[in-house]
Amino acid sequence: MSIERQEVLQKACDFLARREHSRKELAHKLKRACDDESLIEELLDKLADEGLQSDERFAESFIHHRYNKGQGPMKIQQELQQRGVSSELFEGFLYSEKYDWYEMAEQTRLKKYGEAIPKDYQTKAKQSRFLYSRGFNGEIINELFK
């Protein structure tokens, strides 16, 4: 094994030891250390075959982490797509019964604005925009204010 190959493999393992990475993220980080794209692709295939890198595992971990930060499904979905994870891999996790998006939207609103449900249009609109920016869809937001 060449020295460059060993160094790139070691860097990849170092990145994966810190946290899960999508294949696209890992490739992007490794390109800073090595310009041989075929070597990077070969090593990413090897890591995936050995179970060290998994987009599915990354998606599950990412969704769990973002959910616990009070983010909604639309924002999480967009971020996963930006990280190169296909929707077939993450939709099962994102919309599983494990996550109650309505409950999370309610907790997020309560944490920011308190118990009182707004009566006037301006306050409702402000809170709705906040929740929408966090990634909750209109259906969930409208249900909160009923």
Are 44 and 74 found together in one domain? no
Angle ∠(57,58,60) on CA atoms, nearest 5:
65
Q: Are residues 12 and 67 in the same domain?
A: no
**Residues 6 or more apart in contact with residue 6 via CB below 8 angstroms:** none
Question: Based on the domain organization, do 83 and 110 belong to the same domain?
Answer: yes
Identify whether the C-beta of residue 6 lies closer than 8 Å to the C-beta of residue 43.
no
Residues 79 and 128 in one domain: yes
Q: Tens digit of pLDDT for each residue in 79-135?
A: 999 999 999 889 888 988 999 999 999 999 999 999 988 889 999 999 999 999 999
The pLDDT of residue 2: 63
pTM of the model: 0.87
In a shared domain, residues 100 and 146: yes
- Contact 80/39 with Cβ under 8 angstroms? no
Separation of alpha carbons 2 and 66, rounded Å: 39
pLDDT of residue 16: 95
Which residues, other chains included, contact 16 with Cβ-Cβ below 8 Å and sequence gap of 6+? 26, 47, 52, 53
Q: Whole-angstrom Cα distance, residue 68 to residue 101?
A: 11
Task: Name the residue range of residue 40's domain.
Answer: 3-53
Q: Are residues 70 and 119 in the same domain?
A: yes
**CATH at 24:** 1.10.10.10
Indicate the number of domains in the chain: 2
